[in-house]
Amino acid sequence: MKKLWIWLWLWLVVGLVLEYLIGTKSSAYLAEDIRRELWRLAHAHGVLLSAIALLCDGLLGWGGKAARPLVVFGAIAMPLGFFLGGCWPNSTDPHALVFIAPLGGLAFVTGLGLNLSYRLRKE
C-alpha cells in the first residue's frame, strides 16, 4: 500500500500546482478548457480513490485475492487517464489516452464489489 500513499501525495501536489496555475493566471492552463477540466478530474479522482483504497486496506481489509489489485490498479489508472487525456488535447476532444480512465474506474468498482461480496458472504 506504500504505492497508494505515494499516489495520494502526488495527486495532492497536483492540486496545489493547479491552484498555483489558476492563481498566476497561466494562459497555458486557463486557455484550454478540456485540459483544465480533465486535470481537475484527475486531481479529484486521484485523491478520492487513493483515500478510499487506503481506507479499505487499513480498516476493512481485503476479501479474496483479486479485490486488492483491482482497486489499486483502478485508483492509479482512472486519474492517470484523465491527466494524460488533458496533456495533448485538440480543440474539441481530449487525447485518446483518456480511455484509460473508464478502464480504471471499472477495475476500481469491480474490486470494491468483490470485497463487498466477500464481506457479505462471510457474515
Per-residue confidence (pLDDT) for residue 41, from 0 to 100 = 96
CA-CA-CA-CA dihedral for 104, 107, 108, 113, to nearest 10: 160
Per-residue confidence (pLDDT) for residue 32, from 0 to 100 = 87
Per-residue confidence (pLDDT) for residue 69, from 0 to 100 = 92
Burial 96-113 (b: 16+ CB within 10 A, else e): ebbebbeebbebbebbbe
Give the number of domains in the chain: 1
Other CB atoms within a 10 A radius of the CB of residue 30 amount to 13
> Which residue matches cell numbers 487513493?
50
Per-residue confidence (pLDDT) for residue 117, from 0 to 100 = 85
Domain coverage including residue 38? 2-122
Q: Is the pTM of this model over 0.85?
A: yes
* Residuewise pLDDT in 10s, the chain (123 residues): 788 899 999 999 999 999 999 999 998 888 889 999 999 999 999 999 999 999 888 776 777 678 889 999 999 999 999 999 999 988 889 999 999 999 999 999 999 998 888 878 876
Distances (CA, A) of 44 to 61, 80, 91, 119, 120: 24, 11, 23, 28, 29
